[in-house]
Amino acid sequence: DIQMTQSPSSLSASVGDRVTITCQASQDISNYLNWYQQKPGKAPKLLIYDASNLETGVPSRFSGSGSGTDFTFTISSLQPEDIATYYCQQYDNLPAITFGQGTRLEIK
Amino acid sequence: EVQLVQSGAEVKKPGESLRISCKGSGYSFTSYWISWVRQMPGKGLEWMGRIDPSDSYTNYSPSFQGHVTISADKSISTAYLQWSSLKASDTAMYYCARLDCGGDCYVRVVVDYWGQGTLVTVSS
């Protein structure tokens, strides 16, 4: 099984800060990685697909990069509405998909 | 507008059976696989399995195979997740989600739309 390790597990930042979350795969997964945002009490929402493509309607302050085993998710300028838990998800080992353990983002 | 609307919260006793539903609208239901994802209280997301509504072919996570059944009725654009004998450890939020595969769900999977979730509580 492919393991996805996200770091940090939690993060506190100020409005306007640049925020970076990393996701490491246990083996090469090319660019087969997506990122989701889950606000408290809500369903997850797709933000980034295929490692670096912004989903339609998602603000441009969100971005993703990486390939192989190391991936990065960035919020260029943190906004209050970005408070959420963020998950990476790989699809290299279909039909199974695997999520990272999540990164909880809080406002400082 | 694409929507996945799930059935309401359930409270059950251990050993009881249960079926929850997920109705798709705003798109061709048979053109997209549906997955089910579990989220236990305070925990992360776990993929349970998926179904192709066009022919009801399913794949399961080994962690859930044999404990749940995924099905679909394409005539009413609805997918189902069912248990024959619930355990307390099944207490969780369950999400259905649409898979955008770009043509081949054995090559690429993006979970592009999610239902609102169904909370299942199993307690004696």
C-alpha to C-alpha distances, A79 to A19, A61, A102, nearest whole angstrom: 10, 9, 19
Say what the pLDDT of residue A1 is. Answer: 84
Out of A44, A49, A89, closest to residue B114 by CB: A44
Average pLDDT score, chain A: 96
- Inspect the interface and report whether the beta carbons of A43 and B45 lie closer than 8 Å: no
Phi first, then psi, for residue B88 (nearest 5°) are -60, -30
Mutate: best of A29, A85, A99, A104, partner B, most B CBs <10 A = A99
pLDDT in tens, B23-60: 999 999 999 999 999 999 999 999 999 999 999 999 99
Per DSSP, the residues of A42-102 read: S--EEEEETTTEEPTT--TTEEEEEETTEEEEEESS--GGG-EEEEEEE-TTTT--EE---
pLDDT in tens, B113-122: 999 999 999 9
> Which residues of B fall within a CB distance of 8 Å from A98?
47
